[in-house]
Every structure is written in C-alpha cells, then in structure tokens.
C-alpha cells in the first residue's frame, strides 16, 4: 500500500489517539490504534478503507477528465461569451481532475492510477464524441474501447 506507520501516526496523534499496539503475524506487523474506551482500529483496515475511497476518487477524477475534454470541444465550436464559459469549465474541470488524481494516488500506485485515469478519460471522451460530437461509431472503434475498458478493470483487479 502507499501508506505506512509513519504516514498514519501524525494523523492519529492529531485525533487524540493515545494507545498503539503492535501485532506480528506471518512476518507482517499490524499496528492497532485507539483511545480509552474506543473501538481499536488496525492500520491495515485504515489503509484498506482509504484505498477503496481513493478508487472512487480516481473514477471521479477520470470523469472530470471527460468534462474538460468535452468543454474543450464545445469551446472550439462556440464564439464570444459562450466560448469563454466553455473555456472556464475546461479550467475548472482540469483543476479538479488533477487535484483528485493527486489525492487518489496517495494510496493507489502511480502507474496504475494514471493508467486508469487516462483510460476513463479516453473511453469517456470517445463516448461523448459519439453521442454529442457525432463522431463515427465504427466496429473497430467500439472494439478497442471495449478492450480499453477490460484493461482498466484488469488493472484494478491486480492492484494491491
């Protein structure tokens, strides 16, 4: 995972967690944190929950990537104040997409996160192109979008 004891400890101290226990099992150490009377949570479950949330954040970042490419396409076709608003949407979507990507890759491996992010953006943009910009929906285009989706799912399945 992307987090270790040194990453979690300062957060635990800030939250007032005063007890830490170590448990060794199969050459792996689990750290348990808690306050008096609290349910004690393992660092492993903390990291796993954080990683699950970051996968959701990564998907949202990919959708904002689709948003900024859509805004770019619409701005290209617009004139005057309409183009200004589309370019504004492009900047906002781009910024949010990048910030969410940064957040997601705190626990997701960078290579995997970036590949999934660009894959979501590529497939989403191709679908928007077909539905909104009237791009052709040929067999090969749909076939390769399907293989790209399968690759994204495969990356998620083999990532730890």
Domain range annotation of the chain: 5-42, 47-158
Quick one: what percent of the chain has pLDDT higher than 70? 69
- pLDDT tens, position by position, 76-132: 999 999 999 999 999 999 999 999 999 999 989 999 999 999 999 999 999 999 999
Higher pLDDT, 22 or 90: 90
Name the packing angle between helices 80-104 and 43-77 (round to 10°). 160
Instruction: For 60-124, give the DSSP string.
Output: HHHHHHHHHHHHHHHHHH--HHHHHHHHHHHHHHHHHHHHHHHHHTTTS-HHHHHHHHHHHHHHH
Dist. CA 1–CA 30, nearest whole Å: 13
- pTM score, whole prediction: 0.72
Q: How far apart are CA 23 and CA 10, in angstroms?
A: 20
């Amino acid at each position: 995972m992307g987090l270790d004891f040194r990453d979690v400890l300062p957060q635990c101290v800030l939250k007032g967690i005063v007890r830490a226990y170590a448990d060794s099992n199969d050459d792996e150490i689990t750290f348990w944190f808690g306050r008096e009377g609290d349910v004690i949570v393992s660092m492993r479950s903390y990291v796993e929950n954080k990683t699950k949330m970051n996968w959701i954040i990564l998907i949202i970042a990919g959708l904002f990537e689709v948003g900024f490419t859509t805004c770019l396409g619409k701005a290209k076709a617009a004139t005057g104040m309409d183009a200004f608003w589309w370019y504004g949407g492009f900047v906002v979507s781009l910024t949010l997409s990048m910030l969410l990507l940064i957040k997601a890759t705190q626990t997701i491996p960078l290579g995997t996160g970036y590949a999934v992010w660009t894959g979501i953006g590529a497939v989403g943009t191709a679908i928007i192109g077909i539905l909104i910009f009237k791009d052709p929906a040929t067999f090969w285009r749909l076939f390769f979008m399907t293989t790209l989706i399968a690759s994204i799912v495969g990356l998620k399945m083999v990532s730890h």
